[in-house]
Structure 1
């Protein structure tokens, strides 16, 4: 397992050690001790899993303190464009985003710390996404940013005019008007 730093501090890619042979492959998708050895000490308390069709766009979501969530995101089946937006007001990268293709094939994981909004678009026919959280979901602390905010200019890897988006996500505010408390 190794860590790859993104251009945004504290937002990292985790590449597991994959062992392949004629039977297939094996890897540890999560090992608390090995992550601690790499300086990542997180107590995950909840796993979330979603199934989505091609063209689905989910996000951008976050939870405010004291229910802010660190997420460890991976794809069990298919391929997504995973995106995190820095909402930490004192960060030199506030308002910047990072996107990465996560897939069952590449087995990469994105560790998204507190202070980020998160979303993804489905690039394959279907995708199953699993993410660990270090805090339980709390409806009263949830917030979000519009996926098509022009100031963010996110490349979701798909045509946004045909995106399948929940009604809830279509009425989220832009970054300038969100209720982020980071």
Structure 2
């Protein structure tokens, strides 16, 4: 049986406070440092506000198996309009298929705090044509990824400057996207015709 750690609100707040201290101690007074501090404070507020909505069970709903772990446009190589290769296999692992599908949809179709729900639904329909998933599994996948995004801080690794443009593109805003977006995304991923 596959299990998945669910970060507690206390663990997330404690890590956020450590990162805030690191930003303050190593900060240069830059605009990024100020934005990081504000984002971390906002995240603590959001975690407190939404803590009761986190996944309660360590066992994900639905099927699981080997997945790529980071399917997104940056990892797809196209040639003459055809998919030629899937790159970046460092995250391959066994995980819930629903969470992999939901994560891919979030990365592909969640831009600037808005989900393109028509594209999410079309993607999920295609995904489900290859990997049969029940609505309950997709709903669980949405909730798990939402909470994971709420409680992770990979965008702000301590002691490492944020140099990569890909890390800056909307990642700090992902905390803003998910609390409001969780309820709107779920129907797009779980409706019967998708």
TM-score by length of 1: 0.24
The structure, 1 or 2, with the larger RCO (C-alpha pairs under 8 Å, 6+ apart) is 1
TM-score by length of 2: 0.23
